[in-house]
Chains A and B, each alone.
Chain A
Amino acid sequence: MANSTTGKTGAAGPPVTLMAVMAPVLGWLIPGAGHMAQRRWIRGGLLLASILGMAILGLLLQGRMYQPIGNDLLEVLGFVGDLGTGGLYLLGQAMGWGQAAPFTATADYGKIFIIAAGLLNFIAAADAYHIAIGKKP
């Protein structure tokens, strides 16, 4: 029989706390910030270094950042991936990063690096949420 005092979530779902809302939003905006806000400093720092490192490497490789208005489905999916980088994507749009015409063969790697960084950041933000609701230590 389920015991409501054990901290496990029942049929009512996880408790809605301020941290449960803020952690994933912070984590999306600044990679690792959702973990740092919950005093998981090392995890947050490693996530920040990894996700930001991958995205910056993508930009240095002349990777393209997708625009919000895509012409086809692949562009829309690319935009969703890029959007995962959160603050970096918003900053990149403001600064015009990732818009120049690539002239190296490795620019395609850069594009994939940016998308992968965004998708990894979505996973990290979900992890921050799971910590906030007590599903993960």
Chain B
Amino acid sequence: MNPPLQLSHFSAAFFFALFASVVFGITHCDTTRDMVRYGLKCFFTFMGGVVVVGWIMWFLRR
């Protein structure tokens, strides 16, 4: 049996943000331009949130 796939927190968040942003972009806007813009906005919001919350948890741990 193959060993299960292992992802770091960051790479898991990256793939989640990527896939979710594509779906949000396509389903929430009408034009291609708006879809791309909204998808990018969602992606960077997801990833920015990961970084911000990560730093908050780092400070809380100290």
Contacts and interface: CB of A to CB of B under 8 A. Distances in A.
B30 A50 contact: no
A54 interface: yes
B55 interface: no
Contacts of B15: 53-54, 57, 113
| B contact face: mostly helix, strand, loop, or mixed | helix
Contacts of B52: none
B60 interface: no
Interface centre among B4, B22, B23 (most CB of A within 10 A): B23
A61 B27 contact: no
Interface in B1-47: 4-7, 12, 15-16, 18-20, 22-24, 26-27, 30-31
Contacts of B7: 61, 106, 109
A116 B27 contact: no
B4 A123 contact: no
A103 B4 CA distance: 9
Q: Interface residues of A toward B: which range?
A: 20 to 34
Contact of B23 (A50, A57, A103, A104): A50
Nearest to A135: B30
B23 A124 contact: yes
B12 A106 contact: yes
B4 A60 contact: yes
A111 B16 CA distance: 12
Contact of A127 (B4, B19, B20, B26): B26
A57 B7 CA distance: 10
Interface centre among A50, A60, A136, A137 (most CB of B within 10 A): A50
Nearest to A123: B27
